[in-house]
């Protein structure tokens, strides 16, 4: 039986959040740490059910990695993010939020290796002409050998290398996966956890790729093989902007407000210090870096928790956006560059995704450098990075130096959790400890040190908010039971 006086919207916490904020105000507040997709989705869910959320975001704009940068009429995302959801409820949520802003974009990607461009996902005829029949036969033979081995050895091993060799064969691993994976993560493939690649290309194998080349129905449920995706006309950051707009009807979003301290009593979070403000609430959702969270806790967590946090690392990102005096340069969604002769790893052209991403008659090429902070390209000047990017793009045949009219550089510290073998155990130690706080939910890619696509990030935020309603309900009942100041003694 529902406690007397408890609002229906709290009792019905499994109901989908409406597309507009709930007209009733529920007096209990919630605090969300981090204004990326997960945090904003959590705050939106609170707001839509009548709970007033406060969001604290360190950056001067919302969105986290899913933001759109605007420079002199050019727009570009941090790496280019497609939206594609297996969960039709999440897709419907985003469609309802964005309305007619969404475009349906066809995907076309290539990998540059050994002086040639290859289709991605792999297409047999393209590979045959580029690799030669002997190499293709070797790829197939290696794959068959690994599948045969799998009949006698169930454990595929712990590393990315183990998993890819099992599912694609040794030769395919060496050709397609090794160089790019090591460029992205900065460590050997035998040190990268297989759990990352399992999630990143879930359901994919050489057999699936070949079947997909002849029948698109085969790869329909494999995210990495999809042929089209949804994209807002003004950049992926519009999804975050729309969430923030809706949150503002009942809650508030504080940008330029980095979290500085998290106070607790051992059982509950009692308050946070963010920016220049100290705030408290009945429910907290954290989507900020898991390691940063535990290091800001006061009192400090147990030594084993801090030790686990110190063993988790991050991969940083540098982006060079190159303005080109040409209407369009490519027809490609992404270009992957595993070749060690090029310092960058991936390229995309925003105007291929939406014509509104650059001024008329001009375009932009966005070049991504995966690195570790305070070493290598991270320390290069903006001028050096723009020059290096232009030279690389010229070598690839995409432009001529005299067509470049400008450029911008963006450095993103801690962009990606580093999924090194053993990270799962360290993460478990931290999350087990944090699960002991009765008014805290931890969610998101940074919050849980997990690989999440955009749809997963949105779903995680919504779920964290809905799970918090039990906490809000307890707080409501407790306050209802307390005598008011006007009650007779």
DSSP letters, 392-453, are HHHHTTS--GGGEEEEEEEEEEEEEEE-BTTHHHHHHHHHHHHTT-TTEEE-SHHHHT----
8 Å CB contact between 49 and 251: no
Residues 288 and 424 in one domain: yes
Q: How many domains does the chain have?
A: 3
Q: How far apart are CA 97 and CA 244, in angstroms?
A: 11
| Residue range(s) defining the domain that contains residue 168 | 109-225
- Taking only the tens place, the pLDDT of each residue in 287-309 is 999 999 999 999 999 999 999 99
Of the residues 225, 252, 282, the one at which a domain ends: 225
Beta bridge partners, 347, equal 335, 367
Q: How far apart are CA 231 and CA 105, in angstroms?
A: 7
Inform me whether the pLDDT recorded for 125 exceeds 60.
no
8 Å CB contact between 305 and 290: no
Residue 364 lies in a domain: yes
Q: pLDDT above 90 covers what percent of the chain?
A: 64
Q: How far apart are CA 264 and CA 5, in angstroms?
A: 29
Residue 194: the pLDDT is 87
Cis peptide before 121 (omega within 30 of 0): yes
Strand 51-56, strand 252-254: pairing: parallel
Q: Which residue has the higher pLDDT, 364 or 26?
A: 364
- Taking only the tens place, the pLDDT of each residue in 137-168 is 888 888 888 778 776 666 668 899 998 888 88
238: phi then psi, degrees, rounded to nearest 5: -65, -25
Inform me whether the pLDDT recorded for 392 exceeds 70.
yes
Residues 48 and 76 in one domain: no
Residues 361 and 283 in one domain: no
Residues 252 and 220 in one domain: no
Please report how the helices 133-150 and 124-131 are oriented relative to each other, as an axis angle in degrees rounded to 10: 120
Residue 219: the pLDDT is 44
How many helices, marked H, and strands, marked E, lie in the chain? 18, 20
Residues 307 and 318 in one domain: no
- Taking only the tens place, the pLDDT of each residue in 41-91 is 999 999 998 899 999 999 999 999 999 999 999 999 998 888 888 889 999
- Taking only the tens place, the pLDDT of each residue in 246-257 is 998 899 999 999
Residues 303 and 426 in one domain: yes
Residues 6+ apart with CB under 8 A from 489: none
Residue 342 in tokens: 């090029």
- Taking only the tens place, the pLDDT of each residue in 93-106 is 999 999 999 999 98
Of the residues 418, 447, 472, the one at which a domain ends: 418
Residue 403 lies in a domain: yes
Residues 293 and 381 in one domain: no
Residues 299 and 434 in one domain: yes
Residue 16: the pLDDT is 40
Residues 294 and 426 in one domain: yes
Residues 165 and 295 in one domain: no
Q: Tell me what the pLDDT averaged over the chain comes to.
A: 86
pTM (2 d.p.): 0.86
Residue 93 lies in a domain: no
Please name which of 107, 105, 24, 37 lies closest in space to residue 68, comparing C-alpha atoms: 37
Is residue 214 helix, strand or coil? helix
8 Å CB contact between 319 and 79: yes
Cis peptide before 299 (omega within 30 of 0): yes
Residues 304 and 434 in one domain: yes
Inform me whether the pLDDT recorded for 10 exceeds 50.
no
Q: How far apart are CA 134 and CA 169, in angstroms?
A: 15
């Amino acid at each position: 039986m529902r406690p007397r006086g408890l609002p229906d919207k709290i009792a019905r916490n499994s109901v989908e959040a409406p597309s507009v904020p709930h007209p009733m105000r529920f007096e209990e507040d919630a605090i969300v740490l981090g204004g990326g997709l997960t945090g904003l989705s959590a705050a939106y869910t609170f707001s839509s059910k009548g709970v007033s959320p406060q969001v604290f975001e360190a950056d001067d704009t919302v969105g986290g990695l899913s933001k759109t940068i605007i420079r002199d009429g050019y727009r570009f995302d941090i790496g280019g993010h497609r939206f594609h959801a297996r969960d039709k409820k999440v897709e419907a949520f985003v469609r309802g939020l964005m309305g007619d802003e969404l475009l349906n974009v066809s995907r076309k990607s290539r990998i540059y290796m050994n002086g040639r461009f290859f289709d991605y996902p792999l297409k047999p005829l393209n590979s045959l002409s580029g690799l030669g029949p002997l190499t293709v036969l070797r790829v197939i033979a290696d794959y068959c050998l690994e599948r045969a081995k799998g009949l006698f050895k169930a454990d595929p091993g712990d590393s990315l290398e183990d998993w890819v060799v099992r599912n694609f064969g040794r030769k395919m691993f060496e050709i397609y996966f090794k160089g790019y994976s090591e460029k992205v993560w900065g460590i050997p493939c035998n040190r990268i956890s297989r759990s990352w690649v399992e999630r990143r290309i879930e359901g994919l194998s050489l057999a699936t790729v070949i079947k997909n080349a002849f029948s698109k129905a085969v790869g329909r449920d494999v995210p990495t093989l999809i042929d089209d995706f949804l994209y807002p006309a003004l950049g992926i950051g519009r999804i975050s902007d729309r969430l923030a707009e809706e949150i503002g009807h009942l809650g508030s979003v504080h940008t330029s407000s980095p979290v500085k301290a998290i106070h607790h009593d051992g059982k509950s979070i009692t308050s946070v210090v963010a920016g220049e403000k100290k705030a408290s609430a009945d429910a907290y959702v954290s989507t900020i870096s898991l390691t940063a969270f535990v290091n800001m806790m006061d009192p400090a967590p147990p030594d084993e928790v801090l030790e686990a946090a110190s063993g988790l690392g991050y991969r940083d990102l540098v982006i060079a956006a190159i303005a080109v005096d040409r209407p369009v340069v490519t027809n490609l969604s992404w270009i992957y560059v595993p070749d060690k002769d090029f310092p960058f790893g991936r390229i995309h052209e925003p105007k291929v995704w939406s014509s509104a991403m650059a001024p008329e008659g001009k375009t932009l090429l966005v070049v991504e450098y995966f690195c570790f902070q305070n070493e290598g390209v991270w320390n290069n000047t903006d001028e050096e990075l723009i020059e290096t990017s232009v030279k690389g793009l010229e070598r690839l045949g995409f432009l001529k130096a005299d067509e470049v009219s400008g450029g911008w550089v963006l450095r993103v510290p801690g962009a990606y959790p580093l999924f090194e073998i053993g990270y799962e155990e360290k993460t478990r130690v931290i999350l087990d400890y944090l699960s002991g706080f009765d008014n805290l939910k931890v969610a998101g890619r940074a919050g849980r040190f997990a690989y999440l696509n955009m749809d997963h990030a949105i779903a995680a935020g919504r779920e964290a908010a809905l799970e918090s309603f039990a906490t809000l309900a307890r707080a409501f009942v407790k306050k209802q039971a307390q005598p008011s100041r006007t009650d007779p003694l």
